[in-house]
Structures are given as structure tokens and as C-alpha cells.
């Protein structure tokens, strides 16, 4: 495939690694982010997110001038939209906030020309790609037959993104078979260890939601089991360990809840579109959202009315060993305890900030010395040593993840 001029819109946890991988595959990539501070940081050569090996890869691509940071969306052959799709609270429940996707599409429409390809990577509800195609046509003055659109949802694991962008299978959906083939040809220039599968756009949209919802439902089962075992007075981690001795059973480990921009958000996009037909999905989502509140109530029952107690939360990100705080159950728990009047502190080795969500962040040694009660929220590598575990066990604590049992 000949070298393409590509603009990637949105340089966050997905867009920046995607831009780097495309540039390293031989394309000329222009990255654009709506946040000026992101553009300025990248122009100075410093990435603004924590991701394994990404800084080195970005530096290499920038030094070779195959990746540039643009001040605006510029003319290209291909446009890849990698902006957030959070949910918003509405009268009928949680609904997808497509404002970032629509804003990016309008930017593209300003420079779109005949024959261009627009790829939507952002996770979206079914039929969004068709709506974006219509918006591009309206804003550019081109007919929908003059350009090509496709949906290729990301499906990577934070902390291992560069590897998974090259080795995971990709799902490419488009209403126009030619658009799908064009996208497949492009992605095959860097998807070296996986395969690219073609389908229609709605199937691709729902496929990504189904993947994350599957995981959310399984986590909800484990989290609900933890609540049941608490009432039954038994150890949920021992129960799951024994149940998993069955050759066809593999129950996940319960935790504080479910966070992140995918699992905690995407199931609501299905519920939004399909209502009662998605009742199981909605129930699972509600169970996982309830878990931090349930843990807060257990801690409050144990501490009673002594609001002077200092509570330390170990781990404030949404999963171990990353810096992403989006939809973090730890932050939800910390804020709930603080609102109840407790003195709450957080420990987050992957953050350089002094506060997270209004919670003061302190070093590990300090939080273990100063706090009367400790909540083990995540299995960060820094929390796994025998010395740290011993210090936690010596004081009142709540182990959300079974770290202290291993």
C-alpha cells in the first residue's frame, strides 16, 4: 500500500498510540487534539499519558518527521476519529454523549474532499456511523457517495497498547464495501499479528459494545457473589477458588467495582438503544455501580460514628498499574467516605498530582503510618511486597480484592 497522509483527531489513550503506530508503519501522520496543553506538550516531545514504551516510540516517530502535531485539522487522505464518548445523565437514564465525535466530524468536514476516507474509532451506539456520514455530507457539501466512512473500534488493554494495536484482530464495519476494503488495506499495514475482519457498520458498533458488556456482566456476577458471601459469613475468595476447580467454571475475582472509559460506559449505550431487551445488561451495570457504595457502608458500619478516623485508600486509578482515573470506583468510594465526614487520603503511585477528585494523595509509607484504617482497592505492584502487606494487616482494613490472602 502506498504511503497515506493521515490525520488522527484526539491524542489521548487511544489516539496517540494509534498515530504513533500508523507513523511507524510508513505513513505521514498529523495528530490533532482539541486541548492546547496536549498539543504543546507533544510539540515539546513529552507525552501526557502513561503507557509502556509509548514515549520512546513517539520520540522516534517525531524525530523521523513521520508524525507531526498539527494546530488544526489539515487536508489529508484519511481521517481517524479517536475522541471520547462518555455518557451523560438524562431523564430516561444514561445516554451517550456524542458531542466530541460530532465536533471532530465537523472539523473534518471543513477539509473533506472527494475520495477521502473517514474512520471512526470511538466507541459509539449502533447507527452512529451512519449519522456521522450524514453530518459530514451536510457540513462539507459533498454527497455521501463522494467520500468513504467506516467504523473500526479500538480493542486494546491500557499498559500494553502498542503491542495490542499490532497483534489484536480488528473489526471493520462499513455500509459501503469499498470503504471497508480501503480501511482493511490501511490497517493491515500495521496489524502484523492479527487479522482484519469486515462486516457492516452496525455490526461493528455493536460488536465493541458486546465485548465490553460481556466482561462487565461477568464482573457483576463476581461482585454480587462478594455481597452474598458477606451476608453468609464466608470468604468469597475461597468460595470462588473452590468453584473454579470445576473444569467448566471460571468465575472472576471481585473488586471494588468497574471503572474506566469502556466497561463502565459502553453497556449503557446498549441499554439506551434497546431498553427492556437489555435488562440483564442494565442490572449488571447497576450492581457494579453499587459496589463502591456497598463497601462504603461496610466500612462505616465497622468504624461507627467515629468520624475522626483517618482512612487511606490504596489505589485511585480504575485498574492496577496505570494512571487512568476515569470512572474509578476508588475515587467514588473516597468521595463517599469524605462526604460522610471521615478524613480520607489516597495513595496512587502512578499519579504525580497532589489531589485526585478532592482527595489528598500521599506516599505509601506515609499513608500506612498516618491512617487508622486502610482500604486495599487495587493490586498495584507497589502494594504486593511482604513488608507492605504486613503493615496493612497490622491495622484495621478492608481488602476489596483479596490481595492480603495470597
Residues with active-site annotation: 208, 262
Q: Cα–Cα distance between 317 and 349 in angstroms, integer?
A: 10
Q: Cα–Cα distance between 230 and 279 in angstroms, integer?
A: 26
Burial of 400 (0-12, 13-18, 19+ CB in 10 A): buried
Q: Are strands 397-399 and 67-69 parallel, antiparallel or unpaired?
A: unpaired
The count of residues in the chain is 406
Query: 29 in helix, strand or coil?
Result: strand
Question: Which backbone phi and psi does 242 adopt, to 5 degrees?
Answer: -70, -40
Give CA 161 to chain center in angstroms.
11
Query: 280 in helix, strand or coil?
Result: helix
Place of cell 437489555: 278
Closest-CA residue to 101 (of 76, 69, 134, 74): 134
Collect all residues with Cβ–Cβ distance below 8 Å to 196 and sequence separation of at least 6. Answer: 169, 170, 172, 183, 184, 187, 188
Burial of 358 (0-12, 13-18, 19+ CB in 10 A): exposed
Place of cell 438503544: 273
Closest-CA residue to 23 (of 53, 55, 56, 68): 68
Distances from the Cα of 188 to the Cαs of 80, 107, 113, 157, 194, in angstroms?
15, 27, 24, 20, 9
Amino acid at each position: 500500500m502506498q504511503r497515506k497522509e493521515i490525520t488522527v483527531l484526539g491524542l489521548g489513550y487511544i489516539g496517540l498510540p494509534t498515530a504513533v503506530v500508523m507513523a511507524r508503519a510508513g505513513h505521514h501522520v498529523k495528530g490533532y487534539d482539541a486541548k492546547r496543553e496536549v498539543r504543546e506538550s507533544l510539540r515539546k516531545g513529552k507525552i501526557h499519558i502513561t503507557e509502556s514504551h509509548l514515549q520512546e516510540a513517539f520520540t522516534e516517530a517525531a524525530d523521523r518527521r513521520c508524525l507531526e502535531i498539527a494546530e488544526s485539522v489539515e487536508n489529508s487522505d484519511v481521517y481517524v476519529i479517536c475522541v471520547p464518548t462518555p455518557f451523560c445523565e438524562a431523564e430516561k437514564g444514561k445516554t451517550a454523549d456524542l458531542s466530541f465525535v460530532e465536533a471532530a466530524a465537523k472539523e473534518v468536514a471543513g477539509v473533506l474532499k472527494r475520495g477521502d476516507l473517514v474512520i471512526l474509532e470511538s466507541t459509539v451506539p449502533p447507527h452512529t456511523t451512519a449519522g456521522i456520514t450524514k453530518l459530514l455530507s451536510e457540513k462539507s457539501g459533498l454527497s455521501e457517495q463522494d467520500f468513504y466512512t467506516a467504523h473500526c473500534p479500538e480493542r486494546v488493554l491500557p499498559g500494553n497498547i502498542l503491542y495490542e494495536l499490532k497483534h489484536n484482530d480488528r473489526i471493520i464495519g462499513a455500509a459501503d464495501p469499498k470503504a471497508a476494503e480501503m480501511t482493511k488495506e490501511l490497517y493491515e499495514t500495521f496489524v502484523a499479528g492479527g487479522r482484519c475482519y469486515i462486516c457492516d457498520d452496525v455490526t461493528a458498533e455493536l460488536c465493541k459494545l458486546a465485548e465490553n458488556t460481556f466482561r462487565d456482566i461477568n464482573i457483576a456476577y463476581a461482585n454480587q457473589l462478594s455481597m452474598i458471601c458477606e451476608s453468609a459469613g464466608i470468604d468469597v475468595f475461597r468460595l470462588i477458588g473452590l468453584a473454579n476447580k470445576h473444569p467448566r467454571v471460571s468465575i472472576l475475582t471481585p473488586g471494588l467495582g468497574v471503572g474506566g472509559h469502556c466497561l463502565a460506559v459502553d453497556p449503557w449505550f446498549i441499554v439506551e438503544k434497546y431498553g427492556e431487551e437489555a435488562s440483564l445488561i442494565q442490572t449488571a451495570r447497576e450492581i457494579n455501580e453499587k459496589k463502591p457504595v456497598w463497601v462504603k457502608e461496610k466500612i462505616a458500619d465497622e468504624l461507627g460514628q467515629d468520624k475522626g478516623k483517618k482512612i487511606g485508600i490504596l489505589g485511585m486509578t480504575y485498574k492496577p498499574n496505570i494512571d487512568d482515573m476515569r470512572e474509578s470506583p476508588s475515587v467514588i468510594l473516597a468521595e463517599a467516605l469524605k462526604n460522610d465526614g471521615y478524613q480520607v487520603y489516597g495513595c496512587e503511585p502512578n499519579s504525580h498530582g497532589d489531589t485526585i477528585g478532592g482527595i489528598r494523595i500521599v506516599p505509601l509509607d506515609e499513608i500506612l503510618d498516618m491512617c487508622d484504617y486502610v482500604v486495599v482497592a487495587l493490586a498495584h505492584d507497589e502494594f504486593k511486597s511482604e513488608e507492605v502487606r504486613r503493615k496493612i494487616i497490622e491495622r484495621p482494613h478492608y481488602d476489596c480484592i483479596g490481595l492480603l490472602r495470597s
